[in-house]
């Protein structure tokens, strides 16, 4: 018998891309690189938002200078409660303090307070499970200690114990207030960082299997594979992925215990709609070069249609969160205003700031 050729199982394209993405996640997170040369100015952007009055006049200068700076990296501690607790202990331990303090000069108190600025937990995230890290790529190159910290975070990301996620992206699932019994629909879910949070919330009670589930949908077939990856990583049997235009999402039919059919209504819906993304300039500085008021206006229609379909699929007494990563009132307040006018008293806007204590925010 001839020697068979040894076939190494080939990694498919998506797997290779994901591996590369994981490695790059923390590298690109520490920023600079190819974006260093971008001039962070756009006259139309400034005129538009100044005229819209999105921040009070006395806060404009602080606002504009902040959005010109790079975004700090943030991550969530994931996994079971026991695993999360163990990792949190490491992050709060002397091992971490030593790493952070190793490169700082000054007296002890000063060093400790500067180390806290570099790595600190987010006040509004429950149980200290979300953290922000203020390190640039330059810091990591410059310091052996930060390089070790960086490698620790990459290793923990690879084994699924932490998920890199922007701070603002953590907010919509928090205010959705998902409980293990809830039927949840995530209408525009890919790449799935918020879906992961929703699934974790469904599994919050580790003693009992949840009654609820998450249906994660995205119109983009390729991006749905990212959702499959998230679901696999979290090992949950309580997720279903669908690939549909959510503005015309069909009804989901269920069979009740008495064998009759009914339309499924959701207790919680997340409409994290496609948007111009101009709130992500600190992470994607190329938006400074591309920004135009038309970007937001062109998206208002689809954003409204997705949110409207969401309300139709929502159970009476349920909660829907509408979110974008745009600053533009045409994509935010105008969509909600239109829906509230059309639905009259059947839909209510609720104040959920009590679910994110310490988050600095203003009413729209």
Ligand X SMILES: C[S@@+](CC[C@H](N)C(=O)[O-])C[C@H]1O[C@@H](n2cnc3c(N)ncnc32)[C@H](O)[C@@H]1O
The residue ranges that bind ligand X (CB under 6 A) are 169, 187-194, 217-220, 223, 245-247, 272, 274, 302, 306
Compute the distance between CA of residue 339 and CA of residue 327 in angstroms, rounded to an integer: 19
| Minimum CB distance to ligand X smaller for 173 or for 212 | 173
Decide if 63 contacts 310 (C-beta within 8 A): no
β-strands 261-263, 253-255: how paired?
Answer: antiparallel
* Bind-site residues: 188-194, 218, 245, 272
Q: Which position among 224, 275, 289, 325 bears the catalytic label? A: 325
- Which stretches of 314-361 are DSSP H helices? 333-343
| Minimum CB distance to ligand X smaller for 71 or for 189 | 189
Q: How far is CA 103 from CA 19, 110, 135, 155, 222, in A?
A: 31, 13, 12, 22, 43
Instruction: Single out the residue of 107, 70, 304, 279 nearest to residue 187, CA to CA.
Output: 304
| Minimum CB distance to ligand X smaller for 84 or for 187 | 187
Minimum separation from the CB atom of position 227 to ligand X (A): 9
* DSSP, res 191: T
* Bind-site residues for S-adenosyl-L-methionine: 188-194, 218, 245, 272
Backbone phi and psi for residue 167, each to the nearest 5 degrees, phi listed first: -55, -50
Minimum separation from the CB atom of position 313 to ligand X (A): 13
Compute the distance between CA of residue 40 and CA of residue 69 in angstroms, rounded to an integer: 9
Helix axis angle for 108-118 and 94-102, nearest 10°, is: 100
Instruction: Single out the residue of 320, 325, 322, 350 nearest to residue 336, CA to CA.
Output: 322
Q: Is 325 a catalytic residue?
A: yes
| Minimum CB distance to ligand X smaller for 77 or for 100 | 77
| Minimum CB distance to ligand X smaller for 84 or for 214 | 214
| Minimum CB distance to ligand X smaller for 132 or for 276 | 276
Helix axis angle for 13-29 and 144-158, nearest 10°, is: 150
Q: Degrees (nearest 5) of the Cα angle 279, 337, 184?
A: 70
Tokens 């300039």 locate to 281
| Minimum CB distance to ligand X smaller for 77 or for 176 | 176
Minimum separation from the CB atom of position 191 to ligand X (A): 5
Instruction: Single out the residue of 159, 171, 184 nearest to residue 77, CA to CA.
Output: 159
Which residues pair with residue 272 across a beta bridge?
323
Minimum separation from the CB atom of position 74 to ligand X (A): 13
Minimum separation from the CB atom of position 194 to ligand X (A): 4
Q: How far is CA 21 from CA 29, 121, 146, 167, 177, in A?
A: 11, 25, 21, 19, 30
Minimum separation from the CB atom of position 302 to ligand X (A): 6
Question: In the complex, which residue's CB is closest to ligand X?
Answer: 188
Decide if 214 contacts 195 (C-beta within 8 A): yes
Residue 221 burial (CB count, 10 A): 9
Minimum separation from the CB atom of position 304 to ligand X (A): 11
Q: Any idea which residues carry the catalytic annotation?
A: 325
């Amino acid at each position: 018998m001839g020697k068979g050729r040894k076939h190494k199982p080939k990694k498919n394209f998506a797997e290779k891309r994901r591996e590369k993405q994981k490695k790059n996640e923390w590298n690109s997170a520490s920023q600079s690189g190819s974006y260093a040369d971008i001039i962070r100015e756009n006259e139309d952007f400034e005129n538009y938002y100044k005229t819209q009055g999105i921040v009070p006049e006395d806060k404009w200068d602080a606002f504009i200078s902040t959005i010109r700076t790079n975004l700090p990296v943030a991550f969530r501690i994931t996994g079971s409660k026991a695993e999360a607790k163990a990792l949190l202990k490491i992050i709060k331990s002397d091992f971490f303090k030593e790493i952070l303090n190793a490169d700082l000069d000054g007296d002890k108190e000063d060093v400790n307070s500067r180390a806290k600025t570099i790595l600190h937990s987010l006040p509004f995230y429950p149980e200290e499970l979300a953290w922000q890290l203020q390190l640039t790529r330059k810091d990591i190159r410059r310091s052996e200690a930060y390089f070790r910290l960086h490698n620790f975070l990459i290793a923990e990301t690879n084994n699924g114990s932490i998920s890199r996620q922007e701070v603002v992206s953590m907010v919509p699932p928090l205010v959705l207030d998902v409980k293990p019994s809830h039927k949840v629909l995530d209408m525009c879910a890919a790449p799935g960082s918020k879906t992961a949070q929703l699934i974790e919330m469904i599994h919050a009670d580790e003693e009992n299997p949840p009654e609820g589930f998450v249906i994660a949908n995205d119109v983009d077939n390729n991006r749905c594979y990212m959702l499959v990856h998230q679901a696999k990583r979290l090992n949950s049997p309580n997720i279903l992925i669908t690939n549909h235009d959510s503005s015309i999402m069909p009804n989901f039919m269920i069979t009740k215990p008495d064998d009759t059919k009914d339309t499924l209504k959701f207790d919680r819906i997340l409409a994290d709609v496609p948007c111009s993304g101009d709130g992500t300039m600190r992470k994607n500085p190329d938006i400074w070069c591309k920004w135009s008021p038309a970007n937001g206006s062109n998206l208002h229609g689809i954003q409204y249609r997705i949110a409207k379909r969401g309300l139709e699929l929502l159970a009476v007494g349920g909660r829907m969160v509408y979110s974008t990563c745009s600053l533009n009132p045409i994509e935010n307040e105008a969509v909600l205003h239109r829906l509230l006018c059309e639905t009259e008293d059947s839909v209510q806007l609720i104040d959920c700031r009590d679910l994110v204590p310490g988050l600095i925010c203003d009413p729209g």
